[in-house]
Amino acid sequence: MTKRASTIQDVADKAKVSIKTVSRVINNEPNVAIKTVKKVETAIKQLEYQPNAFAQSLARSKPKIISLIYDTPSPNYISHIMEGVLSFCYKAGYEVIIHPLRFNEIGMLRSAEQFIKKSRLAGLIVTPPHSDNIEFIKLIEKLDLPKVLISSGLDLDQSDCIKTNDEEISIEMTNYLIKSGHRKIAFIKGHPTHLSVNQRFIGFQKAMKDANINIDNSLVENGLNSLLSGEQCAERLLNLSNRPTAIFASNDEMAAGVIKVAYKKGIRIPDDLSVVGFDDSPMTEMITPPLTTVRQPLDAIGEKSAQKLIDKLEDRDISHESIIKSEIIFRESVTRLH
């Protein structure tokens, strides 16, 4: 039979003091007699009482609760970021509120303000697209709340950000396609509100320019980071009389949309068309052929974000790295042209 966890009431009863006194001892408040402190500490030890971080935080001017704010169509992305944040916060003795905030919802800023005030947060970790939303960032600053912004495309203080090397790794991916003999390379851009995703197109442009390859505007499509938008972009690209030999999609869902349309049209991948994506979501190994893509160390991004925020909250040195490196995962969706 599992032993019942001790409560603050058990500690108060054993030490023969009030619950309020136990709370004051736990929170290191002044003006508690040393004799009383010792009695409470002995009771805590004997009962193996674990104070609840949420309850403790209510009595502190600096609560040990942070929130991870997200709105993303990719459950894979947020679940890995979340894992990293929770892992670090657990070790550091902080509680985390995972809070969805719908980016396009009317009254989003008002509901965000209500949530922040109600939750008595110590700080915020913010994921895209909110980390690119200037109005939301101004709200956080108005509320004087420490923050760390993940993958923000805005020009902000480095101490507030954890960034990914989207432009650099996109140059690398484009160079891989060029070295494989491709010149007619199409690019499907990401959602216009996701500034960091658009760094991927900048990387593509730079690599093409450095290789002296002109970018054909008819081979550049505007996607919305979704499977459906990938399909719509692929329909247009693959109906061109002079269709591309390779397509670089800004995320894996759009790349999957390309593969789906190619399959319907009888276009073989990679024999007739090479396709690459970005994110290394779980489906990239499941689709046929498995997709060459970019892997972002999402757990590490979450962990570093939590570390940077907690260091801020506890006035420690925050000179940790602010750019997390991604890597290309080579699979079977690219062929070399002879």
Per-residue pLDDT, 152: 86
The enclosing domain of 43 has a CATH number of 1.10.260.40
Per-residue pLDDT, 104: 74
Provide the pairing of β-strand 185-189 with 161-164. Answer: unpaired
Secondary-structure breakdown of the chain: helix, strand, coil percentages, each rounded to the nearest 5: 45, 15, 40
Domain presence at residue 337? no
Provide the greatest CA pair distance for the chain: 88
Per the rule left: phi > 0, alpha: psi between -120 and 50, beta: everything else, 313 is alpha
Per-residue pLDDT, 323: 86
CB–CB of 20/1 below 8 Å?
no
Per-residue pLDDT, 58: 53
Domain presence at residue 302? no
Q: Who's near 33: CB < 8 A, 6+ residues apart?
A: none
The enclosing domain of 290 has a CATH number of 3.40.50.2300
Domain range enclosing 35: 8-51
Domain count of the fold of the chain: 2
Q: State the amino acid at position 175 in one-letter form.
A: N
Structure tokens at 18: 């009030």
Domain presence at residue 187? yes
Per-residue pLDDT, 170: 97
* pLDDT by 10-residue block (mean), the chain, 338 residues: 73 86 75 82 85 59 82 78 94 90 81 85 90 90 90 80 92 98 96 84 97 95 93 97 95 95 96 95 90 94 93 75 89 92
Domain presence at residue 87? no
Domain presence at residue 170? yes
Domain presence at residue 199? yes
Per-residue pLDDT, 194: 80
How many residues are given for the chain? 338
Domain presence at residue 113? no
Q: Who's near 129: CB < 8 A, 6+ residues apart?
A: 71, 103, 191, 193, 194
Kindly report the three-state secondary structure assignment for every residue of 65-125: EEEEEECCCCHHHHHHHHHHHHHHHHHHCCEEEEEECCCCCCCHHHHHHHHHHHHCCCEEE
Domain presence at residue 214? yes
